[in-house]
Chains A and B, each alone.
Chain A
Amino acid sequence: MIFLTIGTQVPFDRLVKAVDEVAPSLNTKIIAQVSKSAYKARNMQTFDFISPHDFDAFFNSASLIVSHAGMGNIISALEREKPILILPRLAKYGEHRNDHQMATAKVFEKLNYVHVAYDEHELLKKLVSVYTQHLKPLHKIGTTASPELLASIKDFIKSK
């Protein structure tokens, strides 16, 4: 199963449409959290909002995560050793207030933590190649922040 999740705030039709179009050639079930996207998917099971409990269940049973370049999904994928393919939201299409998702995509691609597509056409190609050839997770992280950050915050909370 492939789990497509576009975040909780605004629609992301570009991504939903691209995945829906390539879906028939992938020969697997696709479940999608689409946050009121206008595009009506034909080849996937879609939900506007998924509770954290169900979200976890879908996430854990997926063999590949496809997502906007949101940190929640990137972190969850790294934590649970799931391969993830991301398409950054762009401000010029009204998909976000600014282009910080482009920055996120670039730094995490450079670290080789995630697969990135920078436009819909690249997404079509990468989705097929990642799903058929690269389902091994690229990187794994633990469940908490780095010890330095935790210690620094803890000390500051205790300080007078």
Chain B
Amino acid sequence: MKIIAIASIGGHWTELLRLKPAFENNDLIFVSTNASYAQTVNGHTFYSVPDANRWNKMQVLKMAVAVYKIIRKEKPDVVISTGAAPGLLGIIAAKSMGAKTIWVDSIANAEKLSLSGRLASHIASRTYTQWPHLATASILYNGNVLA
């Protein structure tokens, strides 16, 4: 199966890489928001998309177009993200093309799900929180990225 693992740089990316053993024996592609992060996933196809946060709408649009093009070209079976904006955009794009989508909300969100996570939880095939007290009928808790 082809999996696209996507997250913005920094903590979201650190959390994503800690999930890597779950992706073994699949065709794995990474997407992030800075080209230099390719060096953290040697041996895998890596795409960089323009960085953005919700403070800059034009940049978000550029990011959305870039993410959409990658998903359309690669046609993944699964898209998984630990956040933030590029992951949400990836999940929206992948869902529209029928892929399985997984959102793992960052462990940073200890009091409530992130806004991206709350939006993703309505779209993604599966949403995880990393805190047991934030689990609901539709948001799963099954451990966290620390072990």
List chain A positions with a Cβ less than 8 A from chain B: 7-10, 51-53, 69-76, 78, 97-98, 100-101, 103-104, 106-107, 141-154, 156-157
Residues of B within 8 A of A7 (CB): 10-11
Residues in B97-120 with C-beta less than 8 Å from chain A: 100, 102, 104, 106-111, 114-115
Cα distance, A107 to B111, chains bound together (Å): 9
Interchain CB contact (< 8 A) of B108 among A10, A100, A148, A149 = A100
Q: Is the CB of B146 within 8 A of A141?
A: yes
Chain B residue with Cβ nearest A102: B111
Chain B residue with Cβ nearest A72: B11
Q: Is the CB of A149 within 8 A of B144?
A: yes
Chain A residue with Cβ nearest B19: A145
Is B136 an interface residue when CB atoms closer than 8 A count as contact? no
> If A142-B147, A145-B144, A149-B128 touch, does A75 touch B108 (CB 8 Å cutoff)?
no
List chain B positions with a Cβ less than 8 A from chain A: 1, 3, 9-15, 18-24, 26, 34, 36-37, 39-40, 53-55, 78, 80, 100, 102, 104, 106-111, 114-115, 125-126, 128, 130, 140, 142-147
In the complex, besides A104-B108, A104-B110, A149-B144, 10 extra interface pairs with C-beta distance below 8 angstroms are: A10-B53, A75-B11, A75-B18, A97-B115, A144-B20, A145-B18, A145-B147, A146-B147, A147-B143, A153-B19
Chain B residue with Cβ nearest A71: B11
Residues of B within 8 A of A74 (CB): 11
Chain A residue with Cβ nearest B9: A8
Q: Is the interface of A mostly helix, strand, loop or mixed?
A: helix
Chain A residue with Cβ nearest B107: A71
Q: Is the CB of B108 within 8 A of A150?
A: no
Q: Is the CB of A149 within 8 A of B19?
A: yes
> If A71-B15, A143-B18, A156-B102 touch, does A101 touch B147 (CB 8 Å cutoff)?
no
Cα distance, A70 to B108, chains bound together (Å): 7
Q: Which of B3, B100, B142 has the most CB of A within 10 A?
A: B142
Q: How far is the CB of B100 from chain A (nearest CB, A)?
A: 7
Q: Is the CB of B147 within 8 A of A147?
A: yes
**What would 19 A/B residue contacts be, using CB atoms closer than 8 Å?**
A9-B53, A52-B36, A52-B40, A71-B11, A74-B11, A97-B53, A104-B107, A141-B147, A143-B18, A145-B19, A145-B143, A145-B144, A145-B147, A146-B143, A149-B145, A150-B19, A150-B21, A150-B22, A157-B78
